[in-house]
Structure 1
Amino acid sequence: MSERSSVPLVAEPGDDARDDLDRARSGDDDAFRRLVEPLRGQLHAHCYRMLGSTHDADDALQDALVRAWRGLARFEGRSSFRSWLYTVATRTCLDSVERRGKRALPVDLGPSTDHAVVGDAPLSEVAWLGPYRDSGLSDGLLGPGARYEQREAVELAFVAALQHLPGNQRAALLLFDVLGFSAAEIAAIMDTTTTSVNSALARARKVVAAKAPSVTQQQTLRKIDDARIREVVHGFCTALERGDTDALVALLTQDVTWSMPPMPHWYRGLPAVTDFAVRVPLTGCGSWRHLVTSANAQPAVGCYLWNDDAGAHQAWSINVLALRGDRIAEITSFVGAEHFRVFELPDSLP
């Protein structure tokens, strides 16, 4: 939860917006796009929090906007246009949750592994949580009642914790604690009662408190000098490229974890993580190159592995780092070239 207050990002519509709404109701799609554009990034982030996948968020947002456009003539203005859009987007996401279920990380599947599993094979039948490109997020709160900042609310641990909630609890928590809607507004959005909303909120908060760290990455990162953060990220990249075990270990906490969805095995603790690092990325894979990025409002690295057939370093994984103090406490390596396209990173490096 944020310790910092911010100016809400929600403003009352001006005359131009009201004019655009009238035009959009009359079938002006350009006016509709102007209404939606200021909210598009927030809506997409909401869909990602609900669904745990950028691809699913893309589809859900597109579906929601089509539904909104087709149903705009029925929008009577009893709520704000923003509230109505979030109603459509939330219900679209709930439909998707019902069809597809929740997404997971390796830690959700079973206990950690003590020693490196060489040649670990992807587990394709699991719907895996994916990373989120956070470049469009600001640092402010989304509404006057919001408890989480935008960037806190896309952190990997928080989104992973949300996946342990049923759809209605997930929606209630996000609408109340992230977006700042009231219980009465959420009851209208979800077509239920305020009593049901408050009950869902209480259950959801209990689960998230147990699953997500009490200190967010934003709180941690604000306490670390930016130069030190860059030093840690650069040190991680350099250690992998040089195969330098000692340099890598010096950056890690004693209880560090390393997971690699869609690979099912994961590692906890310095001995297990060191064994994996030595036997797989540091000595068993070949030459690495890296590009620094950001994912889920956390430091991240795009890792490229040498491919003889291509004669280049090919996109391999987006590594999202979680820090504690000024050391790395979690490494989540999202393996797959498809993630690089989301981050607009190149498919290969020399």
Structure 2
Amino acid sequence: MSDETFERLVAPHRRELAAHCYRMLGSVQDAEDAVQETLLAAWRGLDGFEGRSSVRTWLYRIATRVCLRQASKRPPRLLSPDHGPAFTDVWDLGSPVDGPVWLEPWPTGGGGDPADEYVSREGVELAFVAALQHLPATQRAVLILREVLQYSAAETASLLDTTPASVNSALQRARASVGDRLPAVSQRDELSALGASGRRDLVHAFVSAWEAADVPALLSLLSEDARFTMPPLPAWYSGRVDVGRFLAERVFETPWKLRPASLNGQLGFACYQRNVADGVFRLSGVNVLSVRDGLVTHLSTFIDPALLPHLGLPATPP
């Protein structure tokens, strides 16, 4: 089979495979590596593909095994509250924690990609992917295959070379563990309840307040228990008062421009900070917002320079 024919065979599945690997590994960078390893293994094993399953299922079998191997070699990715307690000092942010430590955001909204239904649903929301990382890797795979990808117990057992009884047992344990870590309402449902006009109003108010460095206006958009996190820095702040102090004293030392971006199927922004030396606004981070009853409960800010090129965002504001 030629390279072109193989690419036509796998291309329709590439994005949803990447989303699957992201759910398993919690990292856009690790997901990219896993997809490449999956496609290489598929190319090498093509002669052994006998067509007893669909190409999609065959690729998922390979990708899941690749992810299980990777997960066995690396610690699970974390959100800031899982790493350590909240900070109160807004001037001591700690030293960046390097290495495969932090959960990373995932770019969604592929613009007509037929795989988007697998990408934009709750399966890539930050809280869900974070909860998955607390599961043993095999339970993680079972939960994703059964509940996100809708494979049957028998199909999942075949993919993982186990039995349906083992799959059902693992699924029961995984559901209980993940359920304890998830909010009562998903972001998909929260955003649906807001409606299109409510989402537009919230985005407009957030961007306007941030670009104007209007801290009181920003605080009016936050819940009382709001959190602000910013890996790879270990510092994070809990509660509207401490978040407000950090915003007022540290965040707006230089001007910003925000542009809406679809991240994890949630409201998100590409954040461009003005460089003091040349005055140019450059991509310095991304924000992913979590909302509850129309208020922002978590500003998940990601500022790792090594991560940003993997998110497909312009380097300067469009």
Q: How far apart are the structure 1 equivalents of 2:145 and 2:54?
A: 15
CA apart distance, 1:93: 0.7
CA apart distance, 1:210: 0.8
For 2:30, the equivalent position in structure 1 comes to: 56
Quick one: which of 250, 260, 272 aligns to 2:230? Answer: 260
Quick one: which of 249, 253, 260 aligns to 1:292? Answer: 260
TM-score normalised by L of structure 2: 0.93
Quick one: which of 300, 308, 318 aligns to 2:286? Answer: 318
Q: Any unmatched runs of 5+ in structure 1?
A: 1-26, 143-148
**AA partner of residue 169 (structure 2):** S
Where do residues 93-172 of structure 1 align in structure 2 (5 Å cutoff)? 93-125=67-99, 127-136=101-110, 150-172=120-142
- What is the Cα-based RMSD across aligned positions, in Å? 2.0
For 2:172, the equivalent position in structure 1 comes to: 202
The answer to whether the aligner puts 1:86 opposite 2:73 as a matched pair is: no
Conserved in 1, the CA contact under 8 Å of 2:107 and 2:312? Answer: no
* Per-residue deviation, residues 135-194 of structure 1 (Å, max 9, x unmatched): 22669865xxxxxx8421111110111111111011000000011111122122112222
Conserved in 1, the CA contact under 8 Å of 2:61 and 2:159? Answer: yes
Rg comparison, structure with higher value: 1
Secondary structure at the aligned position of 1:318 is classed as strand
The alpha-carbon distance between structure 1 residues 339 and 126, as it changes in their structure 2 partners (threshold 3 A), is: closer
Q: How far apart are the structure 2 equivalents of 1:128 and 1:169?
A: 20
* Per-residue deviation, residues 237-257 of structure 1 (Å, max 9, x unmatched): 222222212101111111111
TM-score normalised by L of structure 1: 0.85
Quick one: which of 153, 156, 173 aligns to 1:186? Answer: 156
**AA partner of residue 38 (structure 2):** A
**AA partner of residue 77 (structure 1):** G
Conserved in 2, the CA contact under 8 Å of 1:138 and 1:151? Answer: no
Secondary structure at the aligned position of 1:211 is classed as coil
Secondary structure at the aligned position of 1:30 is classed as helix
**AA partner of residue 32 (structure 1):** F
* Per-residue deviation, residues 38-96 of structure 1 (Å, max 9, x unmatched): 21111111011111111111110111011011101111222222211100010011111
CA apart distance, 1:223: 1.1
Q: After superposing the two structures, state which structure 1 stretch, 39-48 or 300-309, moved more.
A: 300-309
Conserved in 2, the CA contact under 8 Å of 1:240 and 1:281? Answer: no
Q: How far apart are the structure 2 equivalents of 1:180 and 1:309?
A: 52
Secondary structure at the aligned position of 2:194 is classed as coil
CA apart distance, 1:292: 1.4
For 1:274, the equivalent position in structure 2 comes to: 244
CA apart distance, 1:287: 1.3
The alpha-carbon distance between structure 1 residues 265 and 161, as it changes in their structure 2 partners (threshold 3 A), is: same
Q: After superposing the two structures, state which structure 1 stretch, 286-295 or 230-239, moved more.
A: 230-239
The answer to whether the aligner puts 1:245 opposite 2:219 as a matched pair is: no
Q: How far apart are the structure 1 equivalents of 2:92 and 2:85?
A: 17
**AA partner of residue 105 (structure 2):** P
Identity %: 43
Q: How far apart are the structure 2 equivalents of 1:304 and 1:346?
A: 10
Q: Any unmatched runs of 5+ in structure 2?
A: none
Where do residues 24-43 of structure 1 align in structure 2 (5 Å cutoff)? 27-43=1-17
Aligned residues: 316
Quick one: which of 175, 191, 194 aligns to 1:224? Answer: 194
* Per-residue deviation, residues 302-347 of structure 1 (Å, max 9, x unmatched): 1122222243122211000011121111110001344443333222
Moved over 6 A (4+): 137-140
Conserved in 2, the CA contact under 8 Å of 1:118 and 1:279? Answer: no
Q: After superposing the two structures, state which structure 1 stretch, 247-256 or 273-282, moved more.
A: 273-282
The alpha-carbon distance between structure 1 residues 80 and 64, as it changes in their structure 2 partners (threshold 3 A), is: same
